[in-house]
Amino acid sequence: MALFLIRHGETGWSRTHRHTGRTDVPLTAAGEVQARALGRRLNGVAFAAVWTSPAARARRTADLARLMPTPRVLEDLAEFDYGRYDGLTGEAIRRQRPGWELWRDGSEGGESPAGVLQRAQRALAVLESESPPGPLAVVSHGHLLRALTVAYLGLPIAAASGFVLDVASISILDRDHGSPAVHLWNLAEPGPLGRQGAADPAGPRPAAPDGETRGATAGG
């Protein structure tokens, strides 16, 4: 089960590094441009199924990218519920709660990291049981896709802190000699993927330190 993980395009909150959980912030004009570009980059990949988060920003990204077959919505692909932290930047949260770290502490009034991991594991089970054979596209959110990655790899949820995702990025999870593996991570540069899912030779941009990424560290 090869998974193409696709983070939706830019929103006003992702641009300003605000955690965007259940608040359904729409794509910006730039985010819509990014979504259309995703479709061009994925041209030539024949997906067996396309799954999206229920959030409009994810469904709009899938629509603008013209991903086929018709996307199916899976509730468990919704972003981390940040509770009282929804709409806040990491810096603002740490002013209220010094030393706070999402993957260890969770969110006040929202989900725990363990709960998000369980949800990601449920999502993987549905993807496997309800999809035809072949590569799957999963259009979702920064933190949920990181939880899905560690669930796929069989890692503890704390390991999600080591996987950074930009908006409108593409990552690929697949098997390698029978074991789950990361085949591509956080490809956010323009450029097509080959028919076998190979990245542009230039490769992905390196991730900047936490708090300095291009819409990557805050979820949404």
Q: Contact 59/189 with Cβ under 8 angstroms?
A: no
Pick the more confident residue, 209 or 159: 159
Tens digits of residue pLDDT in 13-53: 999 999 999 999 999 999 999 999 999 999 989 999 999 99
Q: With contact defined as beta carbons under 8 Å apart, do 116 and 86 qualify? A: no
- Under the banding of pLDDT at 50, 70 and 90, the label for residue 194 is low
**Which residue would you say has higher pLDDT here, 191 or 59?**
59
pLDDT in the model for residue 217: 58
The one-character DSSP state at 134 is S
Per-residue confidence (pLDDT) for residue 48, from 0 to 100: 98
- Helix or strand or coil: residue 185? strand
Which tens digits make up the pLDDT trace of 89-131? 999 999 999 999 999 999 999 999 999 999 999 999 999 999 9
85: which DSSP letter? G
Give the Cα separation of 48 and 26 in Å (integer). 27
Q: What residues act catalytically? A: 8, 79
What is 3-125+142-187's CATH number, 3.40.50.1240, 2.60.40.420, 1.10.580.10, 3.30.230.10?
Answer: 3.40.50.1240
On the question of pLDDT at 150 being above 50, the answer is yes
**Is 197 a residue whose pLDDT tops 50?**
no
Mean pLDDT of the chain: 90
Tens of pLDDT, residue by residue over 154-178, are 999 999 999 999 999 999 999 999 9
Strands (E), 68-111: 72-73
- Does pLDDT of 207 surpass 80? no
